[in-house]
Amino acid sequence: MALSVSGGAVFTILLVSRLLESSLLNAEVKEGEILPPTIQRLMKGYNKYLRPFFDNGPVTVGMSLDIASIDTISEINMDYTATIFLRQRWTDERLVFEGNKSLSLDGRLVELLWVPDTFIVDSKKSFLHDITVENRLIRIFPNGTVLYALRITTTVACNMDLTKYPMDKQTCTLQLESWGYNINDVMFYWTRGNESVSGLDSLQLAQYTVEDHYTSVSEAIYETGRYPKLVFHFELKRSILYFILETYVPSSLLVVLSWVSFWISLSSVPARICIGVTTVLTMTTLMMGARTSLPNANCFIKAIDVYLGICFSFIFGALIEYAVAHFCTLSHADSHMLLYGHRMHDFDDEMNGIVTTVSGHAKRAARRKEPAPSPAPTPAATEHAVSPASPSGSEPKAEEAPPEPTHWCVTVLVTLRKILRSSMNCCHVENPHHIDNHSRVIFPLSFVMVNLLYWTYYLYF
């Protein structure tokens, strides 16, 4: 019984070993299908750690780009995110084979070949798409030329000048460099010059339009040496229509709304104050909302900030205009009452003088009718002898004349009073309603002139 059990175990072990051998053989057959004899001959003695032409000068690598999309352009982070197809071409003399057809290989075979160590300068984060497999392409031509293509999504920094925001133009770059090989080992070039980059003409961006793009070749100089670098420049122009509808039109309408108070009576204090305060608060909210989409720690004074500041100044000026007009109305009423009191006082003094003069004339006429022992004085002497302030004429003029010092003091006081009145008359408004009448013309004309200067400067300078 024990012998039968041990014989069965040995049979099971032999069966499992046979199955493993058959699976290994199948795997070898599959590898043979992936690596045909041509590739096997190419890979024989190939060292992927040594670049082509290792002892015969630098290897030249041609680059071309296809911009699939530019997903986002962020002013807050000052970067853009793009998906690109990067194609690299170089010649490897070790991969020359006979024939007239190219070999398209699985992208995973790139691990067996030497490839350039290209990287994207100023890239914040990048990744290679791997759905459903890694998006790589490798193609070998009979003359040893290798085509290597990648699909990459990258977020690249872009320094932006926002002083003319939202009427600005931004120039961003995509720079490609070699990480470890200097110009003595590798040389980069654009395969077709400016036409090496395609796809921008068909892009549809949310706030921008691509105005121009071009390529350049340069070198990156570091402490470790000089490295090849290719630069792709593209210029983006912001579409201003969105900002006109979102910010410029509402702020301009708020300024016009503040002018409605010029047609409301000065006595309607609640109505005019309500319009002024409401427009000021609404403008403040609009200014705060316009800043939320931009960097908080930003040293730029943007064009939109200038316009919002202009609108806020006009709205606040309309509120101050009513305060000035209302104050002038109150001062004008007080001055009218004071002037009326002065006129009544002068009228009373004039009436008293008339009565005194009439009584003086009557007394002089009665005195002339009475006989007198002495000859009557002449009218001229009588006028010199009678004081203007004494209707009876019984006291001489010499006794009524004020002392000389008092006369000079009165003259100085009268002069100071005239100067004070003239200075107050310069700031005096005859009719406070004229302030509103003038404001109805001055405010709109000033706003139109400022708008002409603003748009001319930011659009053409």
* CATH code of the domain containing 330: 1.20.58.390
**Pair (149, 264) in one structural domain:** no
Q: Judge whether 345 lies within some domain.
A: no
Residue 73 lies in a domain: yes
CATH number of the domain that residue 173 is part of: 2.70.170.10
pLDDT attached to residue 37: 78
Domain carrying residue 211: 37-238
pLDDT of residue 109: 87
- Any domain includes 389: no
Q: For 49-63, how does the pLDDT look when each residue is reduced to its tens digit (9 = 90+)?
A: 999 998 889 999 999
* pLDDT value at residue 381: 42
Q: How confident is the model at residue 433, as a pLDDT?
A: 75
- Indicate whether 231 and 328 sit together in one domain: no
The last residue of one of the domains, among 238, 263, 297, is 238
| Same domain for 63 and 170 | yes
pTM score, two decimals? 0.69
Cβ pair 384, 397 in contact under 8 A: yes
What CA–CA distances, in Å, run from 81 to 129, 155, 172, 237?
Answer: 14, 4, 11, 17
Same domain, 246 and 234: no
**pLDDT at position 366 over 90:** no
Beta-strand relationship, 59-74 and 79-91: antiparallel
How far apart CA 68 and CA 203 sit, in angstroms, is: 8
Angle, CA 48 vertex, CA 46 and CA 50 arms, to 5°: 95
Higher-pLDDT residue of 213 and 41 is 213
Q: Is residue 303 a contact partner of residue 169, using CB atoms and an 8 Å limit?
A: no
Q: Measure the CA–CA gap between 40 and 48, rounded to whole angstroms.
A: 14
**pLDDT number for residue 8:** 52
Please, what sign has the CA dihedral across residues 340, 341, 343, 348?
positive
Q: Are 166 and 303 in contact (CB under 8 A)?
A: yes
